[in-house]
């Protein structure tokens, strides 16, 4: 039996930063990569499978997730310096921890990760970025697991990597990243991290349940600007509202349903398109079944 915890009907609202989402049929927290590989090897080939980290970019619908959800956050948590300029981080390590670890090791280039409230695996899947830095610019290679539990090593060339999107190996998931960084200075990197976090708290609704930016920026413009000039700041459906502080954030003001958030996302995209002729594309991943389908 693979070690770890398997829960049935686990409420996804407990694991998403929007604090919404119906139950996962099965929710597995592996004890190690080897246990996860053994668990995958035993799964039926047609079992729906979904991997998650900190749920900071996920809108899970109210009917929940069919099949099995694999949780990595805080579980696959190896973090080590390899040689002079490389760091190996397992998928479940928080981005902020990687940023601090690299800075303390006197390595620069990973500071931008400090403000991304997700895991290394999520950052690889999303090509997460902030303040000019992007995850895959510092990735030398990754380790993956396939559906049958087989391990692989992949290079960036094995993926199509774009702005907040990564594709190319559909039936593999990330278990670790090898980052190649530059020699830096501990004091300088620590100051940069502090500056980035301050800029964030000045411009974003900290302490409110959100998923960060809901929409990708369209070419040559900013989603937040388009939403603001469309008069949508403060618009609410149920307890889901467009943030007053940052127009590209939707916040759960307490007790919102996933359907409220999804309806608000649609209304914002429709209004911006009607007024400005630009169709905003969600950056957040919308997954699972509606309450009607469940
Ligand atoms: C307040 C706030 C601020 C934010 N600011 C930023 C920002 O500045 N820049 C930015 O880019 N994002 C930002 N985000 C969004 C989010 O933090 C990132 O997208 C992050 O990379 C998601 O990581 P996660 O571990 O939470 O992934 P999850 O939300 O759990 O999952 C996101 C996607 O990644 C996939 N995934 C997760 N783990 C793996 C894995 N091991 N292997 C394969 N696929 C996997 C999931 O299946 C899903 O499709 C912000 C979010 C919040 C709440």
Q: Which atom of ligand 1 is nearest to the CA of 73?
A: 25
The answer to whether residues 78 and 70 touch, using CB atoms and an 8 Å cutoff, is: no
pLDDT value of residue 1: 81
Quick one: CA dihedral 151, 53, 155, 44, positive or negative? positive
Ligand 1 mean position, distance from CA 128 (Å): 7
Task: State the pTM of this model.
Answer: 0.97
Ligand 1 mean position, distance from CA 91 (Å): 11
pLDDT mean across residues, the chain: 96
- Determine the average pLDDT of the residues in 89-112: 97
Q: Which atom of ligand 1 is nearest to the CA of 91?
A: 41
Measured CA to CA, the distance from residue 112 to residue 216 in angstroms comes to: 18
Ligand 1 mean position, distance from CA 7 (Å): 23
- Over residues 102-160, the pLDDT tens digits come to 999 999 999 999 999 999 999 999 999 998 899 999 999 999 999 999 999 999 999 99
Nearest to 169 by CA among 185, 150, 183: 150
The answer to whether residues 112 and 131 touch, using CB atoms and an 8 Å cutoff, is: yes
Ligand 1 site residues (CB inside 6 A) read 17, 50-58, 72, 91, 115-119, 121-123, 125-126, 128-130, 173-174, 204, 210-212, 285
Measured CA to CA, the distance from residue 58 to residue 122 in angstroms comes to: 10
Residues annotated as catalytic are 164, 213, 283
Ligand 1 mean position, distance from CA 1 (Å): 30
């Amino acid at each position: 039996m693979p070690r770890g915890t398997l829960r049935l009907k686990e409420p996804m609202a407990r694991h998403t930063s929007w604090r919404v989402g119906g139950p996962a049929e099965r929710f597995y927290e592996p004890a190690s990569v080897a246990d996860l590989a053994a668990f995958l090897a035993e799964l039926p080939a047609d079992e729906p499978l979904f991997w998650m980290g900190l749920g900071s970019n996920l809108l899970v619908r109210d009917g929940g997730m069919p099949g099995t959800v694999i949780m990595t956050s805080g579980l696959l948590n190896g973090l080590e310096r390899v040689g002079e300029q490389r760091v190996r981080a397992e998928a479940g390590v928080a981005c902020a921890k990687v940023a601090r670890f690299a800075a303390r090791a006197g390595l620069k280039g990973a500071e931008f990760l400090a403000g991304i409230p997700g895991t290394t695996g999520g950052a690889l899947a999303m090509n997460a970025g902030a303040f000019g830095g992007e995850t895959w610019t510092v990735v030398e290679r990754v380790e993956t697991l396939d559906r049958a539990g087989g391990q692989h090593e992949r290079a960036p060339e094995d993926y199509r990597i774009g702005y907040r999107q990564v594709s190319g190996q559909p039936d593999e998931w990330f278990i670790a990243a090898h980052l190649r960084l530059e020699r830096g200075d501990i004091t300088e990197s620590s100051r940069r991290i502090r500056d980035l976090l301050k800029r964030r708290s000045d411009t974003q609704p900290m302490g409110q349940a959100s998923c960060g930016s809901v929409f990708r920026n369209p070419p040559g413009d900013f989603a937040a600007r388009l939403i603001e000039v469309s008069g949508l700041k403060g618009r609410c459906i149920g307890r889901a509202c467009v943030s007053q502080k940052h127009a590209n954030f939707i916040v759960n003001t307490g007790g919102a349903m996933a359907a409220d958030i999804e309806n608000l996302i649609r209304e914002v995209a429709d209004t911006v398109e009607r007024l400005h002729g630009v169709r905003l594309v969600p950056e957040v991943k919308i997954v699972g079944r509606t309450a009607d389908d469940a």
